Homo-oligomer: A and B are copies of this chain.
Amino acid sequence: MNEIATCMHGFAPVDRSGLALHDAPAESWSTVFAEAAELGFSAIEIADSHIRPAHLDDHRLSELSAAAAATGVQPIAVHVQRKSVIDPRLGEDNLVYAHATIDAAAALGCTVFSTGLHQPFSEAQRRALWFWTAPGWTDPDDPEVRALAVARFRELGEHAASVGLRMSLEMYEDTYLGTADSAVALIEDVGLDNVGLNPDIGNLIRLHRPIEDWREMYEKTLPHANYWHMKNYQRDEAGDGSWFTSQPSTLELGLIDYRSVVKRATELGYTGPYLMEQYGGDSLGVCATNMRYLEGLLKATTASSESGAR
């Protein structure tokens, strides 16, 4: 069975004294991993909003590995967020940082380097209850910038391959990875076996605007998926399109039918890890609830394909 990992949204990036988790002693890292283990997780995604492996020296990186190993929670991916390699000002710095992260992820025993094209929050996003309800960055309609994205992702993908990692690019609105078609086109243009999509369609169905059909998006993107951020939202729309609303929900209850999507992914040969993600409320609790739900789906899918194979 594929690995099911938790995200780190449920852990505070900075403690009450103002100390960042990144700078905290290894004991604080142990507490994080122990809490994930207590909830039943044996895998975790290291988000660089919380810990930046690229910025840890060898000793601290070993401490991080040891803390994880001691609790039985394996880091499966390092996720670099909002540090786009085509950021107009910081793109080159972000590229250097991404390279360093790939090496650190390999040192941690991860199998995935995860990133995307989303950029830092706008002021409106920072003020919003949910950042996805406010306008943010939009990638320019400029073939040269897109070509730069392709070139830099190819460079990172080759590096990742050389250290045994997959690289996965997260779908995110208003970037070159913002629609099913544009995301697939970008992956195809990068053209490397170890570079695939993270079909995080949850990012898209929560938007306060018209959306693509989630079933069609998965049908197009799942064949290219090599990592998978899973979350779900309830959603309602005015009949006349004058408003849209969404709320974080469980995998079972939200708009996306994960039962059919997971079955379809299995048919298509998806073998990557699953990352449980949840914004708001008890993120860790919902991630654990979702893990148990997903385990049920995977068991049902396995049983049904074994029975079909007879």
- Measured CB to CB, the residues of A under 8 A from B are 10, 12, 31, 34-35, 38, 124, 128-130, 133-135, 208, 232, 234-239, 243, 245-260, 280-286, 289, 293, 297, 300, 303-304, 307
Q: Are A232 and B281 in contact (CB under 8 A)?
A: yes
Q: Are B238 and A208 in contact (CB under 8 A)?
A: yes
Q: Are B289 and A252 in contact (CB under 8 A)?
A: yes
Docked CA distance A235–B233 (Å): 12
Measured between beta carbons, the chain B residues less than 8 angstroms from A249 are 234, 253, 281
Nearest Cβ on chain B to A269's Cβ, whole angstroms: 15
Nearest Cβ on chain B to A79's Cβ, whole angstroms: 21
Measured between beta carbons, the chain B residues less than 8 angstroms from A280 are 255, 257
Q: Are B245 and A257 in contact (CB under 8 A)?
A: no
Q: Are A239 and B128 in contact (CB under 8 A)?
A: yes
- By beta carbon, the residue of chain B nearest A303 is B38
Measured between beta carbons, the chain B residues less than 8 angstroms from A297 are 285
Other than the known A130-B236, A133-B239, A238-B243, what 4 A-B pairs have Cβ atoms closer than 8 Å?
A236-B247, A255-B280, A255-B281, A256-B281
Q: Are A286 and B236 in contact (CB under 8 A)?
A: no
Measured between beta carbons, the chain B residues less than 8 angstroms from A286 are 252-253
Q: Which of A128, A281, A283 has the most CB of B within 10 A?
A: A281
- By beta carbon, the residue of chain B nearest A232 is B281
Q: How many copies are assembled?
A: 3
Measured between beta carbons, the chain B residues less than 8 angstroms from A208 are 238-239
Given A128-B239, A259-B10, answer yes or no on A252-B35 (Cβ-Cβ < 8 Å).
Answer: no
Measured between beta carbons, the chain B residues less than 8 angstroms from A236 are 129-130, 133, 245-247
Docked CA distance A192–B236 (Å): 40
Q: Are A304 and B129 in contact (CB under 8 A)?
A: no
Q: Are B300 and A282 in contact (CB under 8 A)?
A: no
Measured between beta carbons, the chain B residues less than 8 angstroms from A129 are 235-237
Nearest Cβ on chain B to A301's Cβ, whole angstroms: 11
Given A128-B237, A239-B128, answer yes or no on A258-B282 (Cβ-Cβ < 8 Å).
Answer: yes
Docked CA distance A162–B280 (Å): 43
Q: Are A237 and B133 in contact (CB under 8 A)?
A: yes
Docked CA distance A281–B243 (Å): 21
Q: Are A281 and B304 in contact (CB under 8 A)?
A: no
